[in-house]
Structure 1
Amino acid sequence: MTADLPPEPFNAGEPAFTGDVGGTTTLVEGSTFCLSGSTGDIEPGTPHGLFFRDARVVSRWQLRLDGRTPHPLSVSHPEAFAGRFVMRRPPAAGTSDSTLLLVRERLVGDGMRETITVDNLGREATAVRLDLHVDADFADLFAVKEGRAVHGGSDATAAGPELLLRDRRDGSRGVSFTATAEPVVVPGALSWQVVVPAGGRWSTEVVVQPTVGGRAVKPQFDRGERIESSGPARKIRAWRAASTLVTASDPVLTGVLRRTESDLGALLIHDPARDGRPFVAAGAPWFMTLFGRDSLLTAWMALPLDVGLALGTLQTLAETQGTAVDPLTEEEPGRILHELRLGPDSTTVLGGNHYYGTVDATPLFVMLLAECWRWGADEAVIRSLLPAADAALAWVDRYGDRDGDGFVEYRRATDRGLANQGWKDSFDGVNDISGRPAVPSIALCEVQGYVYAAWLARAELAEGFGDEATAARLRERAADLRQRFASAFWLPDRGWYAVALDGRKEQVDALTSNTAHCLWTGIATDEHAAVLIRRLAEPDMDSGHGLRTLASSMGAYNPMSYHNGSVWPHDTAIAVAGLLRYAHLPGAVDLAHRLADGLLDAAASFGGRLPELFCGFSRDDFHPPVPYPTSCSPQAWASASPLLLVRAFLGLEPHVPRRTLSTRPHLPARWGELTLSELRLGNETAQISASGDEAAVTGLSADWTT
């Protein structure tokens, strides 16, 4: 008699992503994530762990079957928050087969639940001993990420059926382990000695519950509850129900879009301190928190799915906007937060748990506010955020432009801060054509584009709310910046914009993907854009899987680096959107098609989920692309990138206050027909069908212009 396998975890219909049996599996839900190996074990001495609010609450989670490690067979996680590890008992000496199947079904969400099932497929009963070894070091996320020594550890108490671990340093954090099927509980382990009859099954359910500030955190699941009834499953269903459905004839694109929807839903955090207001965490495993730049750009890309996410992000960032000057945290009045941390070492990491060392989040905040207004966000909410936008632009003038030359630059305030404060914020992320690092203060080309777009965004809001004088003044500011930018940053003998001006106001002349952001914001003149498009199409920039961050002809090029030759999906998607903004120029659409095709081919090779980045080797040398070893996955703006591709190729520009919806489609041939269903635009709902250069819009009221 053969026992049925335990049921698959909750699956909403999209293809399951099957992990590499030899790799690391990541499960994520809001501010909770779990890293484990192919058997589901969390190995001590590795970056593995169950993390909650930036602290590792489980540092060891090893299941042993009769004292041995089970053999892994498969790993799957059809949802980002649920995983299934299928294993077998190692065969007896002299045999190649095993009759004992072991399945671990895991669910995360403000804690963790694991159901362990043993199936005896043999013809006689078998005795089995299972030992689950557990520990917690309560290490700060940054300490784990950087491989630093962890101090402190935990004190263990076995209280009947429950094992309690508490942070030895101050006791403010803790974790409890409880299980069914009557385990023997001792400090460091839960054990079961069972006999499984022939064709029979045995199972236990283990629950991990964190404690913060001496109070137990309620998990998003109940004991015995089916995964599809759990809090994470309900949340993802609500997210899908409220989101626009995007499908295409191309099965690869459709699969990638389904993974986008799932991953953004899993990275979505509803802040309990702010009435459940939503924002998206930057990415698992290391950035499960609010990031100014990342969360703003992700929200921009996700507007076709849900405007509410963008509004929640703006409101949360407005509440944490800088009000004072603090060199340690780099806070300045009007400055938008770089990142928020909650871990035990957060007050010593980057100067504090609120760190402001970013130069681009502040203008991006203003850009997104106007974009939300165009997409139909509640006008009262938009008006309530105008003071934050004005404070942001005041920061641009008073603190962003450090030397009064009309450009926004950065220089860290102390040696604790980030040396580079644009999106390429690694220590060596900004360099010249020979590879020499730029000398601060540094004025990045793309940041000037963001500031240009921010002036125009605030001007449009002023005009929309009847303040024509302010609108005219801000448009004049934007026009002046565009003219000065063209003069200061353009390299006529090379055909691209300098990546930056350094502290001596000299051009940092490397060819980078940053220049493509200047197309996206529209600061590039047509004359310069026409030359730049031809240059971006050269093989030293186009890897075949996307746009390289740094051309292979540059001195600092390294395809295996973080920012000097790798490919970042969000960066390529922004480049595509920029190219399509200049679709009237020769070669722009063709290059956009090529970059998007390469990116989708890369996504297919990663199981439908675009990682944070991957290596920038040429497609001719490596296909599929080579993964970057510590890339976040899922990662918010990588996950949202396909949505920006969809919007850009549709030429989709709604303006709800003016009741207009324009489309200028240039869809790649491989996409076939693209359909957006239940696209919410204020109080209206539209359906869009497009193919090639044609689009049809239905569902809007008669007074709309399409």
Structure 2
Amino acid sequence: MNYQVLKDNQLFLLTDLYGNIPLDHPYGLGLYKEDTRFLSEMNVTINGEAPILLQSNIDQNDRPVTMLTNPHIEKNGEVELWRESIEIMRTRYISNDILYETVQVKNYNPKPLQFSLEFSFQADFADMFVVRGFQNGELGQKLETISSQDSLVFGYMGADNIKRETIISWEKGKEVKSKKEDLLVPFTLNHSETDEVTFTITPFIYGVTAEVIPKTQAIEESLQRKEEWNSKSTKIETDHPLLQKVVQRSLRDMHTLVTDVGHGPFLVAGLPWFGVPFGRDSLIAALQMLPFNSEIAKGTLRTLAQYQGTKKDAWRDEEPGKIMHEIRYGELARTGQIPFTPYYGTVDATPLFVVLAVEYAKWTKDLSFIEELRPNLEKAIKWIEEYGDRDGDGFVEYHQEASKGIANQGWKDSEDSIVHRSGNFAESPIALAEVQGYVYHALTGMADIYQSLNLPEKSEELKRKTKKLKSEYDTAFWMDEHDYYAIALDHNKQQVGTITSNPGHLLLADLIPQEKLESVVHRLLSKEMFSGYGIRTMAEGEAAYNPMSYHDGSVWPHDNSLILLGLGKQHRQTEAVRVIEGLLQAASHFEYNRLPELFCGYSMEKREVVPYPVACSPQAWAAGTALTFIQTMLGIYPELNERQMKLQPQLLPDMNELVVKDISLGDGQLSLKVYRVKQSYEIEVLKNTTGFEVFLQSTQTTSS
């Protein structure tokens, strides 16, 4: 990445590798909270000259460190600073929605030196949609900047009549000279002497802000939160170094993306552009996290339940029972100039809401929470049956009604993503292949939940509906000439026959008949679909195939993760391991072994991984992909009404051991070790307080 990103709760910072926010940077660098840019410039110079970058590191996510030094500086024939005389260390930290920036300097010159650091700040309070060039509209006005001996205050009165401020402060008694938006800090240092200055940067919105606390206290509180996260999360140990690194990176990224807007912890979609509650993205990321931290699922379900649709509102694509797509908090949203308050233009979030609740119940057996959530789940099912099925044909379709909304409302939401083999775009209403799988998964799971809640009539009703859906789906979507499923049905109920990854999501839903399973799996792993680094979104050779595109030939890790979970559930671990190996190879080509939102779909045979130029990183469901590697390799899929845990493990070819500690299951924890013995596997249960009987499915080797 050519930028650094730092986040805690709702505040995130996006800088270049120098730690700067250059004014008018094309990538929209800045300090953001609630879709507003609270810093649009933050630059440092030494004696008026730009420093030289030595190193930029953000490996641990929470405390980026940038090392700089001075260039050779002469003025009027006199040497002010020999090159590389001063070491400049910038360390940034965010806690409780406050940014702390510490700049430490050290003199390596043999003689005492006098010099200054100059800091330039600006705050434009631009709405995220304006920064990204998506929208313009009626906006507010900047207020006069106020400077004092220990602070600099930028202000803005929005068109929404909300005052926003950015307050930059520093230690009392520190010599800081201010000139409008620029600050100058003089230093006098002997040889090997160090000094530093810390700026505390606090965004204020309509009078509500976090308590400003000293940096040392903020760091301590942040470390406590990290320790709590680690203690509650499943841990893995393996003899496969790359897998270990990728999983550890994923867990760190997930922790970075955790946010709480008042209803429990959940994962925002990704940085830098999607640091807000999402429907589909947050739900899938929580699903990936279930074996590692089920509290995320609970917080996600509670958060989305709070925003569940209550009325018919075409401006926001809202309908009763519908789960939102995305919520925004900026000026354009608050003044009603964009429909994201929240916006409901997604066809898959509502069934996925039910799917996550079902899978949460399987892992935790927490039926009391399901009872609490039941009114929301039943409203979601009602939406599926009444509003989702727009024409009564038994399939859930989407159609954009909001004038500033999204045209394609599945996860492939770009305008060119649903395309016929002729190259013509499909017209809505459109019924997507994977959405019918989510609906089937949701309804079959709810049938089991109703059975557990002693509501047999409701259970039987859903079972009848799912049986009908399975039969009708196969008739409508199966393409005999391709031995595969269509990506969608268009407005004329014609198959959109382009070969894509979407039907791979059906594996987890159990919607594919056994006699067609082999054909689907074979297609997904064919050379047209599998690049070697992952399964492409669209098969090579299709009319719209483009390996550089967003959705028509690229590789999305989260897309692969749902396919992987399905392959594992269908006992196709051999194919799953091939995909995992490819994704691990891809991760090794990216900074910090981090899988990005997506990458280009070029074949491994032809070139190394080609990054997609504006992929979000970290991205929640991309980070969660590595976690599904573990579940898939273990073959661990709990069922609601069983007290047995059947494992069908298959490790990577160059891997002999996997230790998984403290998996939360039921009301206890499970720790186990899987190891290779010649051509088979054995397990050793290290801890089991779950009440589950654990055994290998193939050998029935009991270890309870």
Which band: TM-score by shorter chain? Answer: over 0.9
Tell me the residue number matched to 2:601. 616
1:382 aligns with 2:370: yes
Structure 1 residues 272-305: Cα deviation after superposition (integer angstroms, max 9, x where no partner): x34xx11111111111111111111111110111
Tell me the residue number matched to 2:629. 645
Q: Aligned AA for 1:81? A: D
Structure 1 residues 101-156: Cα deviation after superposition (integer angstroms, max 9, x where no partner): 11100012302111101111110111211111001111111221237679644531
C-alpha contact 1:235 1:265 (8 A) present in aligned 2? no
Tell me the residue number matched to 2:612. 628
Give the match's secondary structure for 1:328.
helix
Tell me the residue number matched to 2:198. 205
Tell me the residue number matched to 1:252. 242
Structure 1 residues 36-93: Cα deviation after superposition (integer angstroms, max 9, x where no partner): 1111100111210011121110000000111111101111113223200101001347
In structure 2, C-alpha distance between the alignment counterparts of 1:247 and 1:233, rounded to whole Å: 23
Change (3 A) 1:184 1:454: same
C-alpha contact 1:665 1:695 (8 A) present in aligned 2? no
Tell me the residue number matched to 2:308. 321
In structure 2, C-alpha distance between the alignment counterparts of 1:96 and 1:480, rounded to whole Å: 79
TM-superposed CA distance for 1:379, in Å, is 2.4
Structure 1 residues 520-547: Cα deviation after superposition (integer angstroms, max 9, x where no partner): 2111112222112112222121111111
Tell me the residue number matched to 1:8. none
In structure 1, C-alpha distance between the alignment counterparts of 2:73 and 2:154, rounded to whole Å: 36
1:657-668 matches, within 5 Å, as 658-668=642-652
Tell me the residue number matched to 1:15. none
Change (3 A) 1:148 1:346: closer
Structure 1 residues 368-403: Cα deviation after superposition (integer angstroms, max 9, x where no partner): 111111111532211111111111110011100000
Q: Give the counterpart of 1:685 among 656, 664, 669.
A: 669
Change (3 A) 1:185 1:299: same
Q: Give the counterpart of 2:176 among 165, 170, 183.
A: 183
Q: Give the counterpart of 2:104 among 97, 108, 117.
A: 117
Q: Aligned AA for 1:208? A: I
C-alpha contact 1:92 1:98 (8 A) present in aligned 2? no
The 10-residue stretch of structure 1 (188-197 or 65-74) with the greater mean CA deviation from structure 2: 188-197
Structure 1 residues 553-585: Cα deviation after superposition (integer angstroms, max 9, x where no partner): 1111111111111111111111122222333xx
Tell me the residue number matched to 1:75. 56
Change (3 A) 1:133 1:306: same
TM-superposed CA distance for 1:217, in Å, is 3.1
Change (3 A) 1:355 1:281: same
Tell me the residue number matched to 2:35. 54
1:395-434 matches, within 5 Å, as 395-434=383-422
Q: Give the counterpart of 1:133 among 113, 120, 124.
A: 120
Tell me the residue number matched to 2:4. 25
Q: Aligned AA for 1:336? A: I
Change (3 A) 1:111 1:224: closer
In structure 2, C-alpha distance between the alignment counterparts of 1:307 and 1:701, rounded to whole Å: 17
1:507-546 matches, within 5 Å, as 507-546=495-534
1:38 aligns with 2:17: yes
Tell me the residue number matched to 2:255. 265
Q: Give the counterpart of 1:232 among 187, 208, 222.
A: 222
TM-superposed CA distance for 1:697, in Å, is 3.2
Change (3 A) 1:316 1:377: farther
In structure 2, C-alpha distance between the alignment counterparts of 1:553 and 1:153, rounded to whole Å: 53
Give the match's secondary structure for 1:79.
coil
Q: Give the counterpart of 2:653 among 664, 669, 680.
A: 669
TM-superposed CA distance for 1:591, in Å, is 2.5
Q: Aligned AA for 2:325? A: H
Structure 1 residues 324-380: Cα deviation after superposition (integer angstroms, max 9, x where no partner): 111111111110111111112224465132111110011111111111111115322
TM-superposed CA distance for 1:236, in Å, is 1.6
TM-superposed CA distance for 1:516, in Å, is 0.6
**Unpaired runs of at least 5, structure 2:** 695-704
1:102 aligns with 2:88: yes
In structure 2, C-alpha distance between the alignment counterparts of 1:590 and 1:662, rounded to whole Å: 18
Tell me the residue number matched to 2:698. none
- TM (norm. structure 2) is 0.92
TM-superposed CA distance for 1:437, in Å, is 1.1
In structure 2, C-alpha distance between the alignment counterparts of 1:662 and 1:154, rounded to whole Å: 64
Tell me the residue number matched to 2:468. 480
- TM (norm. structure 1) is 0.92
**Unpaired runs of at least 5, structure 1:** 1-19
The 10-residue stretch of structure 1 (127-136 or 166-175) with the greater mean CA deviation from structure 2: 166-175
Change (3 A) 1:163 1:703: closer
TM-superposed CA distance for 1:672, in Å, is 2.6
TM-superposed CA distance for 1:452, in Å, is 0.6
Give the match's secondary structure for 1:402.
coil
In structure 2, C-alpha distance between the alignment counterparts of 1:458 and 1:286, rounded to whole Å: 34
C-alpha contact 2:47 2:116 (8 A) present in aligned 1? yes
Give the match's secondary structure for 1:175.
strand
C-alpha contact 1:31 1:288 (8 A) present in aligned 2? yes
Give the match's secondary structure for 1:517.
helix
Tell me the residue number matched to 1:499. 487
TM-superposed CA distance for 1:171, in Å, is 5.5
Tell me the residue number matched to 2:164. 173
In structure 1, C-alpha distance between the alignment counterparts of 2:594 and 2:204, rounded to whole Å: 32
Give the match's secondary structure for 1:357.
coil
C-alpha contact 2:669 2:690 (8 A) present in aligned 1? no
C-alpha contact 2:100 2:215 (8 A) present in aligned 1? no
Structure 1 residues 460-514: Cα deviation after superposition (integer angstroms, max 9, x where no partner): 1011111222212211211111111111001110121100000000000011110
In structure 2, C-alpha distance between the alignment counterparts of 1:521 and 1:216, rounded to whole Å: 44
The 10-residue stretch of structure 1 (503-512 or 362-371) with the greater mean CA deviation from structure 2: 362-371
The 10-residue stretch of structure 1 (192-201 or 64-73) with the greater mean CA deviation from structure 2: 192-201
In structure 1, C-alpha distance between the alignment counterparts of 2:463 and 2:288, rounded to whole Å: 25
In structure 1, C-alpha distance between the alignment counterparts of 2:41 and 2:103, rounded to whole Å: 17
1:214 aligns with 2:207: yes
1:157-172 matches, within 5 Å, as 157-169=146-158, 170=161, 172=163
Give the match's secondary structure for 1:356.
coil
Q: Give the counterpart of 1:294 among 281, 303, 320.
A: 281
TM-superposed CA distance for 1:182, in Å, is 2.1
C-alpha contact 1:174 1:211 (8 A) present in aligned 2? yes
TM-superposed CA distance for 1:589, in Å, is 3.4
Q: Aligned AA for 1:187? A: K
Q: Aligned AA for 1:80? A: N
Structure 1 residues 663-688: Cα deviation after superposition (integer angstroms, max 9, x where no partner): 11122223331111111223222112
1:432-443 matches, within 5 Å, as 432-443=420-431
Change (3 A) 1:350 1:118: same
Tell me the residue number matched to 1:223. 214
Give the match's secondary structure for 1:371.
helix
Q: Aligned AA for 2:44? A: L
Q: Aligned AA for 1:255? A: K
In structure 1, C-alpha distance between the alignment counterparts of 2:175 and 2:661, rounded to whole Å: 51
Give the match's secondary structure for 1:375.
helix
TM-superposed CA distance for 1:615, in Å, is 1.1
Tell me the residue number matched to 1:16. none
Give the match's secondary structure for 2:470.
helix
Give the match's secondary structure for 1:239.
helix
In structure 2, C-alpha distance between the alignment counterparts of 1:255 and 1:153, rounded to whole Å: 46
TM-superposed CA distance for 1:224, in Å, is 4.3
Tell me the residue number matched to 1:467. 455
